[in-house]
Structure 1
Amino acid sequence: MTSSPGPGGPAAGTGVSRADARPRGARRSLMAWLVCCAAGAGLALFAAGKEWAAVGYGGAPVPVNGGDAVTGLTPLVLAALAAVLAVFATRGVWRRLVGVVLTCCGAAVAALAWPSRLPERAVEVAETTRSLSGQAARVTVTAWPWAAVAGGALLAACGVAAVLLAGAWPGMSGKYERRSGDGGKTTRRVTGDRALWDAIDEGTDPTVDLDDHSGNDKK
């Protein structure tokens, strides 16, 4: 003869694990998004400091790096990083608006780094820095502009992801919020030093739980 599982049986445990899996998945998604944002911004900033073109005037070529060829590149990447941080400080519609800003910044980085007009810009920079106007120039373009384009495209994709997924992501204070399936607050019994610190890290107030438990014992 078998007995059906009670309120604390395997079925209940399965429900709790599924409820816990959703915020864990959201946190993993947010961390993966943050890594992609850092990779895109880091790639664009790293490429901006490299040599994008070399302008030759018959003698030694004049190197031109990305920051000189595209002066607005670094400020746009920094603005994108600021938008990434703002995602953690906002919620709802504001978080999606920040995602739109991030998308625009990433798209602007990719558009500015696109090397279609790089030879002209490189000649202008070389002539300004070396006073070599009026001489025929030979321009050699490197692959670093394409790295900046890839970084900007990755930032733009992260912005789109923020617009679509931001509603499920926790905020800066998400771990201090206590929720249950019916929208109410959840409490649990906290015993032991390790369990006490785990409860604090998860946002549960162990002092309230202990006070409630001691009050029940007195009754």
Structure 2
Amino acid sequence: MTAGRALWTWVAVCGAGAGLVLLAAGRDWATVTYGTRAVPVPAAELAPALGPAAWAALAAVVAVLATRGVWRRIVGVVMALCGVGVIVGAWSGGRPGAGLAVAAEHAPMAAGTTDVVRIANALAWPLTAGAGGLLLLAGGVVAAVVGGRWPGMSERYDRHGHGAEAAGRAPARGAPTDRALWDAIDLGADPTADPTADPEGETEGESPRARPDGDDGGR
């Protein structure tokens, strides 16, 4: 796999990981029921760091494309830390009793009753967030280790710019150099004369100037 293809594969994987985290962060991870009243518990209450970590990871993806060298490795470390934060948040927020305290804050009157309390945890969403966090962690480690070999966004423009600059510095084909002009002057030639012109000043279709009467050119 070429370096450019590896870079864009990495971008796709990290983007998918951040997308999974954002998807899970917008869902209800648990439902606490007090008698007949159900209190949903959103992920934003159980793991509030998921959304910011996912957006930070997306920003890190763009930063990896825009940077090179040691800065790209630093961004990779930041992304790996975002992945670790997502994994920790998914684990803590997905525990069976994690939503009970949050639900009690949202419905204190219901929580104070003696009705039977039931907790339903949607484990699919914490697992989804954890999977996204693993992708971000792996992507950050890869960027920190081998990201320096990947091409940057400005490399193509730099290559084209250097080529155009070199072409501008190159002399035009067929144009006389300074040395050739001085050599022509030393030989007594006119360096500004057109080398394709007739040295006698005659052009095609013109007749030679008439000689004086009696001059037959034999002298």
Q: Deviations over 1:114-166 (max 9, x none)?
A: 15763333112211122233345321111111000000110111001101221
What is the Cα deviation at residue 65 of structure 1?
A: 1.9
Matched, 1:63 2:21: no
Gaps of 5+ in 1: 1-21, 179-201
Work out the percentage of aligned pairs sharing the same amino acid: 44
Query: Who is 2:81 aligned against?
Result: 104
Query: Who is 1:217 aligned against?
Result: 174
CA contact (8 A) 1:69 1:118 kept: no
Match runs of 1:175-190 below 5 Å: 175-178=156-159
> Once superposed, which parts of structure 1, at least 4 consecutive aligned residues long, lie more than 4 Å away?
202-208
> How many residues end up aligned between the 2 structures?
172
Q: Take 2:169 and 2:73, find their aligned partners in 1: how far apart are those partners?
A: 41
CA contact (8 A) 2:26 2:44 kept: yes
Cα gap change, 1:162/1:207 in structure 2, threshold over 3 Å: closer, same or farther? closer
TM-score normalized with structure 1 length: 0.70
Q: Identify the structure with the greater helix proportion.
A: 1
Query: Who is 1:174 aligned against?
Result: 155
CA contact (8 A) 1:123 1:137 kept: no
Query: Who is 1:72 aligned against?
Result: 49
Gaps of 5+ in 2: 177-219
Q: Secondary structure at the match of 1:28?
A: helix
Q: Take 2:81 and 2:56, find their aligned partners in 1: how far apart are those partners?
A: 10
> Which among 103, 107, 112 is matched to residue 134 of structure 1?
112
CA contact (8 A) 1:70 1:113 kept: yes
What's the C-alpha RMSD, in Å, of the aligned pairs? 2.3
TM-score normalized with structure 2 length: 0.70
Q: Take 2:165 and 2:77, find their aligned partners in 1: how far apart are those partners?
A: 42
Q: Deviations over 1:33-62 (max 9, x none)?
A: 111111000110011111211111111422
Q: Secondary structure at the match of 1:164?
A: helix
Q: Secondary structure at the match of 2:95?
A: helix
